[in-house]
Amino acid sequence: ARFAIAGGRLRALSRLPQCRSGAPRAEPHAKMYEFPEDFDPSSLVRREVELVSFGGSAVIVAFDKDTRISIFGSYTHSQEGAHAELAQVPPQESRLMRLVGAKITVAAVESDSTLALRFSNGDTLRCLADSKHYECFTIETPTKFVVV
């Protein structure tokens, strides 16, 4: 297992994260590669980035309040006013570290099941649902585990 320190706590990192809240891990929804109908992206608003970590098979963005997004496929990241750069896991280089300390100000699910996040520093992160055969990203909160 890989470990990282976030929010002053040692946390284990794995490819498919388990809920740390003690809540039972939810089963993936029937349409595994789309958002469930009851998912409300606004629940991510005001979450602050505590840690960005990079591994051979995932980029993990950990937030306060036991919330985490694990990206296994493609994503775009752009700074305010700049062109969005397409990246795949594992990235060759990244500026995602800029997100540490920033808070989500806008969260939306786009029509193609892309998760779009705008941050307080002006950056935008889009987690792309561009694979029909593998999970592209997961979202873990204390009460939900979503696989897209």
pLDDT digits over 31-84, tens only? 456 888 889 999 999 999 999 999 999 999 999 999 999 999 999 999 988 899
Can the peptide bond before residue 17 be classed as cis, meaning omega within 30 degrees of 0? no
CA dist 118 and 121 (Å) reads 8
Distances (CA, A) of 144 to 39, 40, 124, 148: 9, 11, 23, 13
pLDDT at 2 over 60: no
Could you count the other beta carbons within 10 Å of the beta carbon of residue 40? 11
Residue 24 has pLDDT above 70, yes or no: no
Q: Can you give the pLDDT at residue 31?
A: 40
pLDDT tens across 80-135, in order?
Answer: 888 998 999 999 999 999 999 999 999 999 987 999 999 999 999 999 998 888 89
